[in-house]
Structure 1
């Protein structure tokens, strides 16, 4: 800290500094001399990579292994959440195989149905009735199945290839988990001690009683989870990091790596096109409470930094794997291995699986340039739109949901006498003819803002989808 700076500048320096970037001159010191703390989602990602990429990532992590430190909360979430990650992968592959068989079975049925249409017309209007009998023999269930057999074998081959590429059995148990064992050896005894019950209770009370209601980062978006312990997970991790930093020499550096970029970790800066930076309060808190310097990075930046500063090369395909897993990674797993819903709050800063929003939009005919741009934008309002399109098209049967898709709880409209909690407008904001049930519907404010930003040519389709979803949810609740 420069003593010549005015007190106002000194006190709020974290808020006045530019957003961290890969070009920061001080960044190298965090990689060569800093304590490295990996969030749970970074460790669970190891189960999502292909075998070759996983080996590459482990090599990169071993370059900083002597400076790795694991908070007790991360260890608990990792050990308990790994089973859920493995089971999700198994369910996804099993579900994909079932979907392939279902679609192929439907294809056979469709061909037979088409044959029957022709046979029916021949019987009704044709003179050569024996032609219908000939068609029934030529186009049978078995003959059509045989024609599709080559396609079935090709699709199965690719699914089996996915299983083998990961190099992990789907029925992995604790005793033979090579990822768990390798992580354990990499950390050694550099693991935080379990907090006493009194300390744990005090931290939870601070989180749910003071910080979360006042939206003080990190973790306040988890407020309202099933139990206070689950809600306070991110804050418990944070407190461990700050307390550990106090035991380090003054001026020490801490590099925290996480795939969590929700608004309770990252600030969206107005007027910057939706650009984000970690909340300055986080840096300030580490400085004032522990006398240490903090840097927060996403996995892609972190592994690129290891290559740049520690000269540990990663294959180009590994970077693609890191980006793929980061964008498609499920919601953080809590200490009991359970995943949460994608809600309006979490959707604003959570990228959906690559290409899925575009696929969903194509299923309902949204093709204007403005809408295509929104489907690729990282702005919070458009993130909500992307997740809603994914959810509503699957819910209304406009497309077949992929195996193990996210659980999404986002509605653009609801039916009822009173609005739900939150920011909703009466459907009378629309003109007569633009909305059904105008007197008994409530429209989400984010949806109204969205329509103001998207081309008017797409409004009718979007309003229709929102109205159908509201009616479907009403019927489901009765």
Structure 2
């Protein structure tokens, strides 16, 4: 059976060791950028593993290009920390100024008092501007004296794909465009991006070409965890898209597998006898999703759903009074949507609320949306809840920078399942 349906199987320990011992280990741009986003201990553990695999490493040209393109922004702090400080202060100043105008003449707050309050806020904003300018000059020094880049230069010497000629690049882009039109992954969820829409598709074709040359088992490490790369069931990532494994086998004649960096450092670390700490795993897991505040994530989910459902079909709740954050009516079904604000693993209060929502009668189906990939413990918990649930239930991780289709399609599917369940009972 395994010989016929090998693409549905995860590599055994022996097969995984084969990838590490004689395979090609390809690194995506997000993996090359990962050392800039973790602390020194995690960085050392990641590089220790990769150094032991130095002779197996390879980087598609597209990944190298995206690394250098995005490196300055990552080194500067991709969360734009100073802009994040300035925006709420400017908004607060505006509100305070409007409020002070509304109480003009009040005996307690005089005009000089109001001017003093606003002046204090202006000084804080000015300080942030000064820090911003200082950061820019420090960034130039950091780019010039980049120890992480120096480490990559040693590890990846002669291990970068060749820069394609303009004609080859044009032909590859056209091939990717045709793949997207036919619904062939990867990269489908980037099709509407204004910049680098064909990047994933180009990387994939470059990877296939290199696999044809090396005739080696190919392992891609990528923190791009969108659905056009990975397949999932019940909130659990269960491996690469079947289409990718088949295409690599049919085109290059080699086995293929892929992993997020967090899974790679854990499994490869065990094989190489270089185990990584739980702290490192937690940091690396966090790399797969853009940084966003808990409340900001909730607002992003609500905003996306408001764009696609009529006002009367979407009801928001306060967590103080309900187990879910909002309800979406789809035809005769009501899907309760619970939004996990915490950045890491699911916490006990969240699991408790989820269990009560799943077992309750108020909603026809339940969807949990979280901004980070699920840990193994999370996945086990979700599968248990799914098995125990008397109603359709699913859990997905989503972020505002990815395609909305999965979020919407999951809600529509749960609604349809709930209607089918009622009809069948």
- Unaligned regions of 5+ residues in structure 1, if any? 121-131, 330-351, 388-404, 412-443, 456-478
* SS of alignment partner, residue 375 of structure 1: strand
Pair 1:13-2:5 in alignment: yes
Q: Give the CA deviation at 1:361.
A: 7.9
Q: Give the CA deviation at 1:147.
A: 11
Are the counterparts in 1 of residues 222 and 258 from structure 2 also a CA contact under 8 Å?
yes
Inter-partner Cα distance in structure 2 for 1:258 and 1:52: 21
Question: Aligned ranges for residues 303-452 of structure 1 at < 5 Å?
Answer: 303-328=265-290, 356-358=296-298, 365-367=317-319, 368-371=322-325, 374-376=338-340, 449=412, 452=415
**Where does residue 26 of structure 1 map in the other structure?**
15
Are the counterparts in 2 of residues 14 and 284 from structure 1 also a CA contact under 8 Å?
no
The 3 A distance-change label for structure 1 pair 306 and 111 is farther
Inter-partner Cα distance in structure 2 for 1:188 and 1:275: 33
More displaced stretch, 49-58 vs 174-183: 49-58
- Unaligned regions of 5+ residues in structure 2, if any? 304-315, 326-335, 347-365, 373-398, 419-425
Pair 1:95-2:83 in alignment: yes
Pair 1:264-2:228 in alignment: yes
1:115-158 Cα distance to aligned partner (Å, 9 max, x none): x59x84xxxxxxxxxxx4xx458x9469979999xxx9xxx9xx
Inter-partner Cα distance in structure 2 for 1:383 and 1:265: 21
The 3 A distance-change label for structure 1 pair 46 and 215 is same
The 3 A distance-change label for structure 1 pair 215 and 359 is closer
**Where does residue 207 of structure 2 map in the other structure?**
241
Inter-partner Cα distance in structure 1 for 2:48 and 2:411: 49
Q: Give the CA deviation at 1:101.
A: 4.2
Are the counterparts in 2 of residues 112 and 140 from structure 1 also a CA contact under 8 Å?
no
Inter-partner Cα distance in structure 2 for 1:327 and 1:445: 19
The 3 A distance-change label for structure 1 pair 353 and 259 is farther
Q: Give the CA deviation at 1:382.
A: 5.4
Are the counterparts in 2 of residues 242 and 289 from structure 1 also a CA contact under 8 Å?
yes
Inter-partner Cα distance in structure 1 for 2:302 and 2:265: 35
Higher relative contact order at CA 8 Å, sep ≥6: structure 1 or structure 2? 1
**Length-normalised TM-score, structure 2:** 0.62
Inter-partner Cα distance in structure 2 for 1:54 and 1:107: 43
RMSD: 4.8
**Length-normalised TM-score, structure 1:** 0.56
Pair 1:183-2:152 in alignment: yes
Q: Which has the larger radius of gyration?
A: 1
Q: Number of paired residues?
A: 337
The 3 A distance-change label for structure 1 pair 217 and 451 is closer
Are the counterparts in 2 of residues 73 and 233 from structure 1 also a CA contact under 8 Å?
yes
* SS of alignment partner, residue 338 of structure 2: helix
**Where does residue 218 of structure 1 map in the other structure?**
186
